[in-house]
Amino acid sequence: MVEVDAPRAPARLPREIWVLVGASFLIAIGFGLVAPTLPVFVRSFDVGIAAAGLVISVFALARLVFAPSSGWLVGRIGELRVFNAGLLIVAVSTAAMAFAGEYWHLLALRAFGGIGSTMFTISAVSLLIRLSPPEIRGRASGMWATGFLLGNIVGPLAGGGLVAISLRAPFLVYAAVLVVVVVVSAVLLRGRTDVAAPVPGAAPIPTVTFREALRHRTYRAALVANFGVGWAVFGARVALVPLFVVEALGQPEAWSGIALAVFAAGNAATLVVSGRFADRFGRRPPMLVGLAVAAVGTGVLGYIADPVLFLAASLVAGLGSGLVNPPLQAAVGDVIGTGGRGGTVLAGFQMASDTGAILGPVLAGGLAELVGYGPAFGITGVVLAVGWAFWLRAPETLPRLVEPPVTVSCPET
């Protein structure tokens, strides 16, 4: 019996992936416009740090509650319809926030926006996994995340300028950007994202349930790591960094946008490299390095008194976070399998991040009010370190490294 390695010619990214990358870039520009403004805008309603964090947490809570329904909708009416409907919901809720008159208005509108957010996120990730073969899954995830992060570099810088005009202006601009994304996606993706009809007599498309995936150690590690990413990147960072820059470092509000942009730049610098590395050498190595770097870089933020050093630590944290994203998403795709369906698996994966994004701002914000920003950022670093410990025991999932090579057998005589 002669063993022959399977061909490893690099595949090109499908056109649909590039459309999703462009859409994520525009969405992130809008998100970046609002991110530096939101905590300060909420504080203008005479509420505390924890209350400001609650506005961010309620967005994640709505995502968490509606995630299973979003997965169901993707299967019922299609990914593109769910994607565009979700974007329109976020656009309407964000525009309405510009006219909010009371604190509870912000809570209600952010919750409504969270429903739309989970709709377009799950549908986009489902498309990425379904359209990306295993040998380019890390690269596709990296490019998609890079589009989002490059938008996060441009967005906060522009948002800092809009704040000088009005605290409400970024919300209106974000809504307009989302409408543009809906129009572009409807035109370029129409008719190109449908699942092919099953061939008569062919085996049914495999469906992986959440319970089945939960038996896999790598999926469990992915859930813990994504919880940490939600806590640190989408929760505590957005809630605490703008306030820390203004209240602890004594810098103008525009510096908040700079700090968030530096973090995003660190992400963008490692995303594509991490995706290619994960496709070639496996998902575990970049996960372990990235979680360790992100944990250290985030944990020290609250103990830095110099603005320049704070930006440097933010860059380090961003570099680590960028290493994590592509292999994390690719590993979940490996668990589902090429051509498989795993709506509940993707919903559970997203819910882990949203749970972290809910708890992070409230618990870290409350800790900041009680004992200061240092412990608040420190506990965030510990949460990321727990994810590192889980990945230390997780098996590799890259099919080329875990499956036996293709073999050619000669008939026995």
Burial of 273 (0-12, 13-18, 19+ CB in 10 A): middle
- pLDDT, averaged per 10 consecutive residues of the chain (413 residues), comes to 42 79 86 78 76 78 86 79 91 89 85 90 83 82 81 72 73 89 84 48 60 90 94 82 83 78 83 88 94 94 88 92 91 78 80 86 86 90 95 90 50 38
- DSSP letter assigned to residue 362: I
Whole-model pTM? 0.76
What was the pLDDT predicted at 192?
Answer: 57
> Which secondary-structure segment (H or E) carries 408?
strand 407-408
Look at residue 384 in the predicted model and tell me its pLDDT: 95
pLDDT at position 248 is 82
- Collapsing DSSP to helix, strand or coil, 183 comes out as helix
How far, in Å, CA of 305 to CA of 377, rounded? 14
For residue 407, what are the β-bridge partners?
Answer: 3
Dihedral sign, CA of 163, 169, 174, 176? negative
pLDDT of residue 293: 95
Question: DSSP characters for 51-94?
Answer: HHHHHHHHHHHHHHHHHHHHHHHHHHH-HHHHHHHHHHHHHHHH
Q: Which residue has the tokens 């950007």?
A: 177
CB 118 within 8 Å of CB 70: yes
d(CA 221, CA 342) in angstroms, rounded, equals 17
For residue 179, the model assigns a pLDDT of 92
d(CA 389, CA 398): 20
Q: How far is CA 408 from the centre of its chain?
A: 42
Kindly give, in sequence order, each residue whose CB lies less than 8 Å from that of residue 99, ignoring residues fewer than 6 positions away.
168
The answer to whether 231 and 238 are in contact (CB under 8 A) is no
What does the block give as tokens for 54? 């609650």
Cβ pair 297, 334 in contact under 8 A: no
Spatial separation of the C-alpha atoms in residues 389 and 407, rounded to whole Å? 36
Which residue carries 């010619």 as its tokens?
9
3-state secondary structure of 133: coil
Alpha-carbon distance of 85 to 87, in angstroms, equals: 5
Q: How far is 352 from 350, CA to CA, in rounded Å?
A: 5
Task: Report the CATH superfamily, name and number, of domain 15-193+208-399.
Answer: MFS general substrate transporter like domains (1.20.1250.20)
Structural contact between residues 327 and 52, judged by C-beta atoms closer than 8 angstroms? no
Distance CA 155, CA 37 (A): 11
Q: What is the 3-state secondary structure (H, E, C) of 186-235?
A: HHHCCCCCCCCCCCCCCCCCCECCHHHHHCCHHHHHHHHHHHHHHHHHHH
Outline where 98-206 has alpha helix (H).
103-131, 134-165, 169-188
Q: Distance between CA atoms of 70 and 84, rounded to whole angstroms?
A: 13
Instruction: Tell me what pLDDT residue 200 has.
Output: 43
Determine the pLDDT at residue 3: 39
How many secondary structure helices (H) and strands (E) does the chain include? 17, 2
Q: How far apart are CA 254 and CA 189, in angstroms?
A: 37
